[in-house]
Structure 1
């Protein structure tokens, strides 16, 4: 039901943006909600199912205009290569933040999870006040990053002292309380950079629900305002279905980037004394690090 509600919410946003659009709205809403969570191989099956459901409809490419331009500008400023697949994932992350206040960036190391939300946040901040593609205007983004597995449950959510029975707020409760009483229009992203397991994330279920409330052991209930809970994880092997179903998913694969963007960006930052050797270094990277089909060894 949460997935159905998300599709309906996305379709409603599209209908308000394009009142004259026909059933293409439903198709685009289904794509916007589901495509980010699929692997490259799964997309082929998904496209086949969608073509059977909407046989006579051809979806036109979506023009993200200023958002895509701003993302590419931020990539240039951060000395990153604006790979088309990476830009697509940044836009998918933006679309997911529009319809979900809880989402997960899933993928192995080297897939670009951290840079994805950093680039998108900087791009939205640069476009502050301009009309957005989903209706409304862009707002600046403030990101708070914490590792929930590096601290105890009491340090994360808050706890009572065993001797004095005094309540001490945790890091997350302090951050959310400050965001709840804030009067500005700034979007607040809380990024949990660490493994997701049932030890700490089950306490987030009320936050990830539609009521958006953080319930503390002290009895206090904090109502979330315009906040987004993000989780940067490598996999969901030990995550419970209750948590996964409450979150939107954006899956990033290392194959989207490949190795070339990493080597090119690194070569731009080497000291001037090594600049004459960039071609040689690039040829060595291509020779020893690139995978060029199966390698066959012959012994004589």
Structure 2
């Protein structure tokens, strides 16, 4: 069951049946039981509704896959094109963990989440990791160093997620290898080393892994967000929900939905 769930997180939705066939060949006569996520799944559903989003099974499944991946990896990559729902997946998981914590459920992973979001490709290497001022010879932390340092200095049991939202390439990600492996150490150019605490997770939102090195990819857990599972209908339904609250009668929203179904391909 764990092997199946781990592989489902990183494959395209249209080859799930192929995966089932391979697993049945490897383990003949073994029936994979359906895992009951109970209150976790129902809380994810509620969190999506609170954000006025459509609680689709595919999105709920991806949130659960991210949750399970983060249980075993402190470095996680959310892979998928723009608009596929990567940001929504981790935001909903953060909402869910916060809700479950305040509900009093006894699970060490059910904790509030603090996020530190940055775009590593919008700044130079010095601005990202830190550099020495050539005039004053003083060290100045970069964005990544500031985020990690702030997370380390937070001694609460809350989750701290440092999220890099941008393309992954060898220019900047190679410096993260010591962070992503078992050392959990951010090494700066001034010879300082910042040790990550158990409550810190490094998360990467990327469109693809075309230029990411195997050394980096092998250090991270992967969750692939397939845009083919989402398509366009949830966007329209969410828009029409807000539209219907402002415009009466409601039949106008139904008319717009029928019109869009006629011109857009499912």
What's the TM-score, normalizing by structure 2? 0.94
Within 2, Cα distance between the matches of 1:237 and 1:53?
A: 30
1:283 to 230, 234, 258: 258
In the alignment, structure 1 residue 148 sits paired with structure 2 residue 120 = yes
Within 2, Cα distance between the matches of 1:224 and 1:275?
A: 55
* Cα offset, 1:47, TM superposition: 1.8
Determine if contact 1:130/1:137 at 8 Å carries over to the other structure: no
RMSD over equivalenced CA pairs, Å = 1.4
Matched with 1:196 is 168
Gaps of at least 5 residues in structure 1 are: 1-27, 292-300
SS of equivalent to 1:219: coil
Within 1, Cα distance between the matches of 2:84 and 2:248?
A: 28
Q: How does 1:48-197 map to 2 (within 5 A)?
A: 48-128=21-101, 129-132=104-107, 136-197=108-169
Within 1, Cα distance between the matches of 2:6 and 2:246?
A: 46
In the alignment, structure 1 residue 272 sits paired with structure 2 residue 246 = yes
Within 1, Cα distance between the matches of 2:259 and 2:239?
A: 14
Determine if contact 2:184/2:195 at 8 Å carries over to the other structure: yes
* Cα displacement string for residues 43-100 of structure 1 (whole angstroms, at most 9, x for unaligned residues): 3332222112221221211111111111111111100010001100100000000001
Gaps of at least 5 residues in structure 2 are: none
Within 2, Cα distance between the matches of 1:238 and 1:78?
A: 34
- C-alpha change, 1:122 and 1:275, in structure 2 (3 Å) is farther
Determine if contact 2:121/2:167 at 8 Å carries over to the other structure: yes
Of the structure 1 ranges 177-186 and 202-211, higher mean CA displacement relative to structure 2 is found in 177-186
List 4+ stretches of structure 1 deviating above 6 A.
none
Within 1, Cα distance between the matches of 2:16 and 2:184?
A: 32
* Cα displacement string for residues 131-154 of structure 1 (whole angstroms, at most 9, x for unaligned residues): 34xxx3511111111111111111
Of the structure 1 ranges 29-38 and 159-168, higher mean CA displacement relative to structure 2 is found in 29-38
SS of equivalent to 1:108: coil
* Cα displacement string for residues 143-194 of structure 1 (whole angstroms, at most 9, x for unaligned residues): 1111111111111111011122210011211221121122110001111110
- C-alpha change, 1:230 and 1:73, in structure 2 (3 Å) is same
**Number of residue equivalences:** 261
* Cα offset, 1:220, TM superposition: 0.6
* Cα displacement string for residues 229-256 of structure 1 (whole angstroms, at most 9, x for unaligned residues): 1111111111111111111110011121
Matched with 1:22 is none
Determine if contact 1:125/1:139 at 8 Å carries over to the other structure: yes
In the alignment, structure 1 residue 259 sits paired with structure 2 residue 238 = no
Within 2, Cα distance between the matches of 1:275 and 1:108?
A: 36
Of the structure 1 ranges 274-283 and 164-173, higher mean CA displacement relative to structure 2 is found in 274-283
Of the structure 1 ranges 222-231 and 177-186, higher mean CA displacement relative to structure 2 is found in 177-186
Within 2, Cα distance between the matches of 1:123 and 1:46?
A: 29
